[in-house]
Structure formats: C-alpha cells, structure tokens
Amino acid sequence: EDQVTQSPEALRLQEGESSSLNCSYTVSGLRGLFWYRQDPGKGPEFLFTLYSAGEEKEKERLKATLTKKESFLHITAPKPEDSATYLCAVGQTFGIGTKLQVIP
C-alpha cells in the first residue's frame, strides 16, 4: 500500500525566510511524485512532477527535488502570497499537506 507522509503539518515563516517542506513516501513502484498548491476552498493547483531520484524542477521561488525515499519542496525568500497548503502525492495517494503561512 502506497504511503505519503508530509512534514511539518504547519509552518510559519517571516517574509524572505527560506525553508523546506518534506514529503516521504513508500510505494511499490514510483510512477511520478507530484506537488500541488491548494488555497482554502479551492482545488489543488499543479506545481511539479518528478519521476526519478536526482531530478529537480524549479518554478519562481519553488524548487522540488527527489530522492529514492523523499522529496523536498524548497521555498526561497517566500512572500505572503506563497501562503497556502502544499500537497505531495504519489499516484493518487495524497499526503495531508503542509500549511504554510508567510508573515509580512
């Protein structure tokens, strides 16, 4: 059974304070690890797909990396508009998310 665990559950950052979100997974066969952003009361917004260990992808202040056991979402110099819940998924198994709050 696929399992996805995200940490921390909540993270509060000052604007400009870089940090990383963790997603650890156990799967029978990885066919893609996905990162999404979800705002309150809305559907998730696709951010990245990673397929193999060592792969990295970037988009604005976000950078996702992948190893054989976990993925990190690095947020560089975050802004208040980056506040959201970030979800990690392997296939159709989703983690509970990390709720990020960026304080001005």
Where does this chain bind another protein (CB under 8 A)?
32, 34, 36, 41-46, 49, 51, 87, 89, 92-97
User: Which residues are CB-neighbours of 60 under 8 A, at least 6 positions away?
Assistant: none
- Nearer to another protein (CB atom), residue 92 or residue 104: 92
- Nearer to another protein (CB atom), residue 1 or residue 104: 1
- Shortest reach from residue 96's CB to another protein, in Å: 5
- Shortest reach from residue 46's CB to another protein, in Å: 6
Cβ neighbour number for residue 7 with a 10 Å cutoff: 13
Q: Phi-psi region for residue 91, left (φ > 0), alpha (ψ -120 to 50) or beta? A: left
Pairing of strands 84-90, 33-38: antiparallel
- Nearer to another protein (CB atom), residue 53 or residue 96: 96
- Shortest reach from residue 94's CB to another protein, in Å: 4
For tokens 């963790």, name the residue. Answer: 22
- Nearer to another protein (CB atom), residue 13 or residue 47: 47
| Cα gap 97→6, rounded to integer Å | 6
- Shortest reach from residue 18's CB to another protein, in Å: 25
List the beta bridge partners of residue 72: 22, 65
